[in-house]
C-alpha cells in the first residue's frame, strides 16, 4: 500500500484491486481492457508469459512475453508465476513480481486471462479480486469479428470458437457480466464496475482516520 499524504489521504493510501477480465476470443475483452488501462493511471495491465507464437503485429513485452516451453516451465518451477494454465495447446501465465510490486505501490492490476487463471487468482486473493466476464451479443457476431480481424487462419478461428464455447460455460463464476453489444456502452459498464469496486471501504484504508478527523472538526 502506498504511503499517505496527510493532506490528501485518498490520493495515496489505497489498497489495490485485481480486475480479472475473461471472455471468448473476439468478444472485445482486449480492446475494453486496454482502453481502461489507458484511461486510468492507477490501473496497470498484467503482461502474461506465453508459449504461443506471436501473431502479426504483436510485440515482445507489449502483448505478451513470448517464451519457449522449457523457459516457461522453468518459470513455473521457480515459482515466478501467480497462476498459469494451458489454453488451446499453449501455456499462458501471469508473472508474479509485477503484480506484487503494483499491489505494494497501491496500484490496481488488470488481467486479460482465461477462466482457469481468473479462478486461481481469485482463490489466492479473494478479497482483492473482482471478476468480469464479457459476452458477445450473439455467436454469429463473434464469428464475424474473428473473421474481420483477419489475424488467423480458418482452422485457428474454428479452434478459437470451440474454445470460446467452453469458456462461456464459466460465466457464472464471475462477479459481473457485460454483454458487448456496443463498445461504448460496454466500456461505460466496465468503468462503472471498476469505479464502484474502488469505492469499497476495504480498498480505502484511509477512511477510518479521515472519518475520525471529520468527527473531531
Binding site for ligand 5GP (CB under 6 A): 25, 48, 52, 83, 85, 87, 92-94, 112-114, 116-117
The Cα 80–Cα 177 span in angstroms is 30
Question: Residue 117 Cβ, how far from ligand 5GP at the closest point, in Å?
Answer: 2
Q: What is the DSSP string of 166-182?
A: HHHTTGGGSSEEEE-SS
Question: Residue 198 Cβ, how far from ligand 5GP at the closest point, in Å?
Answer: 23
Query: Residue ranges of the alpha helices (H) in the chain?
Result: 9-12, 29-39, 69-77, 96-104, 115-124, 139-149, 154-168, 183-198, 207-216
Of 116 and 204, CB closest to ligand 5GP: 116
Of 92 and 194, CB closest to ligand 5GP: 92
Question: Residue 13 Cβ, how far from ligand 5GP at the closest point, in Å?
Answer: 29
Of 28 and 117, CB closest to ligand 5GP: 117
Which positions ≥6 away from 175 have C-beta within 8 Å? 130, 131, 132
Of 4 and 81, CB closest to ligand 5GP: 81
Question: Residue 77 Cβ, how far from ligand 5GP at the closest point, in Å?
Answer: 17
Of 1 and 47, CB closest to ligand 5GP: 47
Contact 128, 38 (CB under 8 A): no
Question: Residue 21 Cβ, how far from ligand 5GP at the closest point, in Å?
Answer: 8
Question: Judging by DSSP bridges, how do beta strands 176-179 and 129-135 pair with one another?
Answer: parallel
The Cα 180–Cα 165 span in angstroms is 16
Question: Residue 187 Cβ, how far from ligand 5GP at the closest point, in Å?
Answer: 18
- Position closest to ligand 5GP via CB: 117
Of 13 and 33, CB closest to ligand 5GP: 33
22 membership: H or E segment, kind and range: strand 18-22
Amino acid at each position: 500500500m502506498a504511503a499517505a499524504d496527510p493532506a490528501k489521504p485518498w490520493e495515496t493510501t489505497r489498497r489495490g484491486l485485481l480486475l480479472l477480465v475473461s471472455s471468448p476470443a473476439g468478444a472485445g475483452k482486449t480492446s475494453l481492457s486496454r482502453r481502461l488501462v489507458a484511461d486510468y493511471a492507477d490501473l496497470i495491465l498484467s503482461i502474461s508469459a506465453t508459449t504461443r507464437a506471436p501473431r502479426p503485429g504483436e510485440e515482445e513485452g507489449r502483448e505478451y512475453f513470448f517464451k519457449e516451453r522449457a523457459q516457461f516451465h522453468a518459470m513455473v518451477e521457480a515459482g515466478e508465476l501467480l497462476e498459469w494454465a494451458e489454453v488451446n495447446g499453449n501455456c499462458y501465465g501471469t508473472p508474479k513480481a509485477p503484480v506484487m510490486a503494483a499491489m505494494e505501490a497501491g496500484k490496481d492490476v488488470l488481467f486479460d486471462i482465461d477462466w482457469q487463471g481468473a479462478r486461481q487468482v481469485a482463490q489466492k486473493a479473494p478479497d482483492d479480486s473482482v471478476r468480469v466476464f464479457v459476452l458477445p451479443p450473439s455467436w454469429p457476431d463473434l464469428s464475424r469479428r474473428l473473421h474481420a480481424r483477419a489475424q488467423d487462419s480458418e482452422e485457428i478461428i474454428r479452434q478459437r470458437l470451440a474454445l470460446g464455447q467452453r469458456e462461456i460455460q464459466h460465466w457464472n463464476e464471475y462477479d459481473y457480466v457485460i454483454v458487448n453489444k456496443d463498445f461504448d456502452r460496454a466500456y461505460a459498464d466496465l468503468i462503472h464496475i471498476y469505479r464502484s469496486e474502488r469505492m469499497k471501504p476495504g480498498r480505502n484504508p484511509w477512511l477510518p482516520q479521515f472519518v475520525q478527523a471529520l468527527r473531531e472538526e
